[in-house]
């Protein structure tokens, strides 16, 4: 296992970023996370660096909407308020499930905070598995803010 210092909050953000225009790479030597986007002024330099050191940069995958949907369903099942459970089911009919979920929970800030924490921790576990599968161990997984969602 290679041990490196990684900004874990940013790694989780990159992992959760579902924008098709944003691609992220983890620098396995220095722990930096590089964003590749067509709009970047230094795009050519960045892509050249990644291509020249392909063994050093690891593509950060996008987990896809199925994982988020599964997490949201598990969270919804755990809700204690039966009326809220019924209302939350409407979110799954929306083309933008997560946004609908957050809108419904906006009048329940304590539950919205629990949702954000749950999603962060779920993503953290998945990111740790991905790092381990790539023989990388972060020096620290401490979060500066556990609710960046």
> What are the sequence ranges of the domains in the chain?
2-61, 65-121
Q: Which two structure tokens, joined as six digits, stand for 102?
A: 């957050």
- The SS3 assignment for 27 reads strand
Q: Kindly tell me if the per-residue pLDDT of 148 is higher than 90.
A: no
Q: What is the pTM of this model?
A: 0.79
99-103, 121-125, 140-144: segment of lowest average pLDDT: 140-144
Reported confidence tier of residue 144, pLDDT bands at 50, 70, 90: low
Q: Which two structure tokens, joined as six digits, stand for 42?
A: 């230094």
- pLDDT of amino acid 146: 46
**With contact defined as beta carbons under 8 Å apart, do 146 and 11 qualify?**
no
Measured distance CA(72)–CA(59) in Å, rounded:
26
Q: Where would I find the beta strands (DSSP E) of the chain?
A: 2-4, 23-27, 33-36, 57-60, 136-138
Q: How many CB atoms lie within 10 A of CB 5?
A: 11
- Mean of the pLDDT values across residues 32-48? 72
Reported confidence tier of residue 147, pLDDT bands at 50, 70, 90: very low
Q: Please, which residues have CB within 8 angstroms of residue 15's CB and are 6 or more apart in sequence?
A: 24, 60, 61, 62, 63, 123, 126, 127, 130
């Amino acid at each position: 296992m290679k041990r490196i210092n990684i900004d874990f909050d940013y790694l989780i953000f990159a992992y959760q970023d579902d924008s098709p225009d944003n691609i992220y790479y983890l620098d396995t030597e220095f722990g930096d996370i590089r964003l590749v986007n067509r709009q970047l002024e230094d795009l050519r330099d960045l892509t050249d660096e990644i291509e020249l050191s392909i063994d050093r940069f690891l593509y950060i995958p996008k987990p896809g909407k199925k994982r988020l949907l599964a997490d949201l369903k598990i969270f919804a099942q755990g809700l204690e308020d039966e009326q809220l459970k019924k209302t939350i089911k409407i979110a799954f009919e929306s083309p933008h499930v997560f946004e609908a979920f957050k809108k419904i929970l906006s009048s329940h800030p304590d539950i919205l905070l629990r949702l954000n924490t749950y999603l962060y921790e779920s993503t953290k576990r998945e990111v740790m598995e991905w790092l381990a599968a790539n023989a990388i161990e972060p020096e620290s997984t401490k979060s500066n803010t556990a609710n960046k969602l």
